Amino acid sequence: MQHAEITVPQEELARQAEFARSVKELPHRPESYYVVTYGCQMNAHDSEKIAGMLETMGMVPAEKREEADFVIFNTCCVRENAERRALGNVTWLKEVRKQKPDMVIAVCGCMIQEPGMAEIILRKYKFVDLAFGTANLHRLPELLYETLNSGKQTVQVEDRDVIAEELPIRRLRKDAAYLTIMYGCDNFCSYCIVPYVRGRERSRDPESILREAEGLAASGVKEIMLLGQNVNSYGKGLPGNPTFAGLLKRIDGLGIPRIRFMTSHPKDMSDELIETMAEGKHILPQFHLPVQSGNNEILKKMNRHYTREQYLERVSKLRAAIPGIGLSTDIIVSFPGETEAQFEDTMSLVREVRFDSAFTFIYSPRTGTKAASMEGMIPEAVSAERIQRLIALQEQLQQETLKRFVGREEEILVEGLSRRSRLAVSGKGRHAVSVTVDGNEQDIGRILKCRITNLKNNTLTGERI
Ligand code: SF4
């Protein structure tokens, strides 16, 4: 598909802006809104766009969902229990609305994009006023206008791959910002629903990304996180075949102090990217590289397209080019048919790599994926025992790998008050590790220089310099 065909035309965006003005003029329009977000950073960023559009319709944020005139659930469908939780919360709001009959309830996000979900909303969730899929996000003003005017349920789901540029955004943080560079995924890992609900991979035009990044630099943002399901394959299908490394290099030149990105796929991680990171001025020395399993047979069944050896080769290349780089990963335990020996391969990979952090999950089948119909589900008790062993190993190794920071100077971007003390703040260092230092609310959003003095229970503490 040509890039021009998937980009929402300017005229359509202007039409939506017109609908936003019309909603604002409606006598009984909602005056406040609340967005409930599930899932990953991409969804969190979509919620910022939803909030941006709602504010152009004259709405202001409400403190609590039960106080809002318009409540929208931006859902995720990666895990089935997240989906159940979202639907449970939507149903709870139906009860709340008995006290607040004018409340408008909406549901959007990738759960709505699942086959059959629109019918379920129409049949079983009649109290939901508005539901729309990810391809219709930019049409929120029009859909809300229709809902408010007709008083009837509006459900819009399209199976289309689109890119909508320059939507209004209300960013949650002033110091750090998300910047989506691509949408969708072509990888079809056998356990993952994303390609079915988020569509084929499509990259944003590099000039639009640069314009957005320049705007963020001018607004004083200290950190940006480039987002995509598989940022390493950025550029596929774009004229001139730009690469992710090339894009990163250009963004590095804008002077934003800290640049991060997420998520990477080991099979697409190029030498050019490693060199760009090593030479970059502002690209942080951190890498999230999901491995999922340390066993080649399981990796094959997962359809990951790399072997354990290839993964380890990428890690050593990365570490040789950027010594001390912060490395994190995702691991799935008990994939269908995983034997004890295959699980041990994952344990040995974890021992070999020594990650700074690892997100570990017990496999749970996702309806609609290939793995969901695979034989060999692992009994719960076995999975629980395996994941405990893996977590214990990771914690023990983490305690050792984090020691390298003690005594060092680090710059942290303060994210908030420490959970343990109101006289301390915590933030992320350049290597993605969390550090707690003395401070107060005024430090939130600042970059602080500190010396790391202590490591206890995998938590680094330091003092300001
Ligand atoms: S790379 Fe695999 S796990 Fe990641 S979004 Fe794509 S299909 Fe899902």
For 278-295, the pLDDT digits (tens) are 999 999 999 999 999 999
Atom of ligand 1 nearest to the CA of 192: 8
134, 107 contact by CB (below 8 A): no
How is domain 406-464 classified at the CATH fold level?
OB fold (Dihydrolipoamide Acetyltransferase, E2P) (2.40.50)
User: 413 and 258 in contact (C-beta within 8 Å)?
Assistant: yes
What atom in ligand 1 is closest to the CA of residue 303? 2
Q: Among 180, 189, 201, which residue has the most ligand 1 atoms within 8 Å of its CB, making it the best to mutate?
A: 189
Give yes or no for residue 77 having a pLDDT over 90. Answer: no
- What is the CATH number that goes with domain 173-284? 3.30.750.210
pTM: 0.93
Q: Is residue 397 over pLDDT 70?
A: yes
**How many A from CA of 455 to the centre of ligand 1?**
34
What is the Cα 197 distance to its own chain's centre? Answer: 15
Interval 359-371: pLDDT, tens: 999 999 999 999 9
Residue 271 makes CB contacts below 8 A (sequence gap 6+) with 317
Residue 378: CB atoms within 10 Å: 19
Architecture of domain 3-156: 3-Layer(aba) Sandwich (3.40)
The alpha-carbon radius of gyration of the chain (Å, integer) is 23
> Ligand 1 centre from 230 Cα, in Å?
7
| Predicted confidence (pLDDT) at residue 2 exceeds the cutoff of 60 | no
CATH code for the part of the protein at 290-403: 3.30.750.200
Q: Which residues line ligand 1 (CB under 6 A)?
A: 185, 187-189, 192, 194-195, 229-230, 265
What is the mean predicted confidence (pLDDT) over 121-130? 94
Q: Is the pLDDT of residue 24 over 80?
A: yes
* CA angle in degrees (0–180, nearest 5) for 167-71-97: 160
Q: How confident is the prediction for the chain on average, in pLDDT?
A: 95
Residue ranges of domains in the chain: 3-156, 173-284, 290-403, 406-464
Task: Provide the pairing of β-strand 424-428 with 409-417.
Answer: antiparallel
d(CA 268, CA 294): 18
Mutate to test the pocket of ligand 1, among 134, 230, 231, 359 (most ligand atoms within 8 A of CB): 230
Residue 6 pLDDT grade (very low, low, confident, very high; cuts 50, 70, 90): confident
**290-403 shares its CATH topology with 406-464:** no
265 Cα: distance to centroid of ligand 1 (angstroms): 8
By alpha-carbon position, which residue is closest to atom 8 of ligand 1?
Answer: 192
Q: How far apart are CA 463 and CA 465, in angstroms?
A: 6
